[in-house]
Amino acid sequence: MSEAKVPVSSQAAPTQRERKPRVQPLRIAIFGFGTVGSSVARILVESKPAGLELTHVFNRGVERKRVDWAPESVVWSEDAEAVLASDVDVIVELAGGLDPAGEWVRRALEAGKSVITANKKLIAFHGVELERLAAAKGGHLKYGAAVAGGIPVIPAIEQGLAGDRIQRIEGILNGTCNFILSKMEEGAEYATVLDQAQQRGYAEADPTEDVGGFDARSKLAILMRLALRVAVDPEEIVPQPITTISAVDFSYARDLSCTIRQVARAEKSGGEVSATVGPMLVDLRSPLAWSRGTENMVILSGHYGGDVVFSGHGAGGQPTAVAVVSDLLALAHGSQRVEIPSTPGRVGGEFEVPHYIRFLVDDRPGIVAAITGALAKEEINIRAIVQKPGYPQHALPFVVTVEPCKSSALKRALASIHTMDCMREEPLDLQMLE
């Protein structure tokens, strides 16, 4: 048997043993010294990770941000241009939002620097463009902290699950909403819990991004690009706020052996892409029902590997800072760029699942018959009708659950039902995860 010949180039690539480690540590500038930024700095100063050196901190009104535990060598600056023009190797962008953070990131990448960010909105809307820019200029863009805080979901998708074909994503991606809803499950009122969340720093003074579902929407769009390999415009994902949920919904949910969580879910099936964010009824046996407080959870369903569950603290400075520093360490140790191909897509598919519908009516004969007729017109089958005693006749809440149906058909039926003069408010429609 002849021996196989393997062609060898005249300039073979160096082996792992031959590669020389970086002699100088990565010089790091933090843009935004808030809860996460200060936590990142604290880890760098206290743990002294090999190969990393904090050299600059940028923040507006930076004097009020100075801390006595940072090394004297750190440059504190209000001049973003000066920091971008300095000899730093990595910009850690933690200011958030699209502008001016997006401009800082682009300027850094144009200059051949690497960028670490926790900015889910920027990555959701401009991630593809920014990754191409980083590749063209020889830098790196890492954003492991942009989804699920300290839970390493993004690195797991990029490496640990790269050999599978992910078909479905379900997750609790916003710690603020999970804190609010799990407290409401225990009997607290929405306004009281929101105030607690704001006092603890879990929610902003204007909580719309969180409670309106926009924060989770950005994170879902990122996961869709990495896991489902489809890049969508986040604006196509229409979120449903948790502000419509009341104590009576948790009472009815318990009767149905469920609880309520804000869930982000996406699916790619038969060439169609479905995605949604909003409060949903979750079976008490589901891992999603076990997530409480500010915890996040992501369930990825693969064609070959089945379900993989990630769970942990998704909000707060320290868990997010751990993800940021982990990205920095990956850079310091010669991390290679992970290229995950994705194709542009549109959110056009529909989930065909059971629904929970809560009505508030001025009670009178014939209401159930009218509702049943409107649903039957759209070929939607009723699963159960539940009515609790003890509520006034002029403001009576009751629940109808329906068998799996298309959301568009149910929307048409509910639009017709809403016109009935006995309806005190718009019906509340929640998907049910079984």
Q: Are 30 and 37 in contact (CB under 8 A)?
A: yes
Active site residue 5: no
333-349 per-residue burial string, b: 16 or more CB within 10 A, e: under 16: eeeeebeeebeebebeb
Distance, CA of 151 to CA of 129 (rounded, Å): 25
| Cβ-contact 332, 50 below 8 angstroms | yes
Instruction: Report how far residue 171's alpha carbon sits from residue 160's, in angstroms, rounded to the nearest whole number.
Output: 18
User: Angle 255-260-263 (CA atoms, 0-180°, nearest 5)?
Assistant: 145
Question: Would you give the distance in Å from CA 94 to the centre of its chain?
Answer: 16
- Can you tell me the distance from the alpha carbon of 194 to that of 241, in angstroms, rounded to the nearest whole number? 14
Instruction: Take residue 172 and report the two structure tokens written for it.
Output: 């609790």
Angle of helix 35-47 relative to helix 317-332, nearest 10 degrees?
50
Tokens representing 406? 């298309």
Full strand arrangement of the beta sheet holding 141-142: 75-77, 52-58, 26-31, 90-93, 114-117, 141-142
d(CA 288, CA 174): 13
CA dihedral 243, 249, 250, 256 (to 10 degrees): -140
219, 268, 377, 388: the catalytic one is 219
Nearest to 429 by CA among 238, 176, 215, 233: 238
Q: Which residues are catalytic?
A: 219
